[in-house]
């Protein structure tokens, strides 16, 4: 799919190309992550964590979630724990989480307008790709780039620039939507407009106002209004 796929007069109410983060933006994957961490904790004789205590750490990745689950390690999360997390998570993948409320109507509105959308995540590509069929997105997402797909990952702009080039869009024609500061940093470095998904995962001290995104939205339903997009 290219930037020429939707010429003037065919749609155009929404941005022509929207790229999304996955966890905490399109997908409420915290329940899958909590199940993963609680299996790891149970193997060590520890009580389960509450979902509310897992949720703020999800967008930070496997290492950060493991550090929250095992504070006694003082943040020293070795590769063996990350591998255990990923192997366990692979068996919980898509079993508990779902797309956030309002995501499907928003994606449908983009598609009806002739817009193109895709996913750029720091999750390993094989895990992100395994989620697509259960969500019905395997043929709808025009591009899927994981954290290990390229030599760099967010907040580096390379994944965003690579996605835009594959789809035939200039960076300035694209909007990147994410719930973490690294998403906004990546978009700015790539020359893309950015939008903060305020419904996503954040630590208590995070202040999206300081991220200097081009726009913010409280809920996916807000993005049914073309005026909400930057």
Question: What positions carry a catalytic annotation?
Answer: 21
Task: Supply 149's token pair.
Answer: 């797909």
Omega of the bond prior to 151 within 30 degrees of 0, cis? Answer: no
Distances (CA, A) of 213 to 28, 46, 162, 175, 229: 22, 40, 21, 11, 11
Task: Supply 203's token pair.
Answer: 């630590």
Distances (CA, A) of 50 to 46, 47, 55, 95: 12, 10, 9, 17
Distances (CA, A) of 150 to 1, 22, 58, 93, 162: 20, 17, 22, 23, 9
Task: Supply 205's token pair.
Answer: 């001290």
Burial class (CB in 10 A: 0-12, 13-18, 19+), 72: exposed
3-state secondary structure of 208: helix
């Amino acid at each position: 799919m290219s930037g020429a796929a939707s010429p003037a007069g065919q749609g155009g109410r929404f941005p022509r190309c929207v790229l999304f983060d996955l966890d905490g933006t399109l997908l409420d994957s915290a329940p899958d992550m909590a199940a993963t961490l609680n299996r790891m904790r149970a193997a060590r004789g520890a009580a389960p964590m509450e979902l509310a205590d897992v949720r703020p750490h999800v967008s930070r990745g496997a290492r950060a979630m493991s550090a929250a689950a095992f504070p006694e390690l003082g943040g020293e999360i070795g590769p063996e724990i990350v591998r255990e997390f990923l192997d366990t998570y692979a068996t919980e993948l898509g079993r508990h989480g779902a797309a956030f409320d309002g995501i499907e109507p928003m994606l449908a509105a983009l598609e009806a307008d002739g817009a193109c959308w895709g996913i750029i995540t720091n999750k390993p590509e094989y895990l992100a790709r395994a989620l697509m069929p259960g969500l019905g997105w395997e043929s709808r997402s025009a591009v899927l780039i994981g954290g290990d797909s390229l030599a760099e990952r967010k907040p580096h702009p390379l994944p965003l620039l690579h996605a835009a080039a594959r789809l035939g869009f200039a960076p300035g024609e694209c909007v990147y939507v994410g719930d973490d500061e690294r998403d906004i940093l990546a978009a700015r470095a790539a020359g893309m407009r950015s939008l903060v998904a305020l419904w996503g995962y954040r630590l208590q001290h995070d202040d999206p106002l300081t991220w200097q995104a081009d726009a913010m939205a409280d809920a996916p339903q807000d993005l049914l209004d073309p005026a909400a997009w930057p």
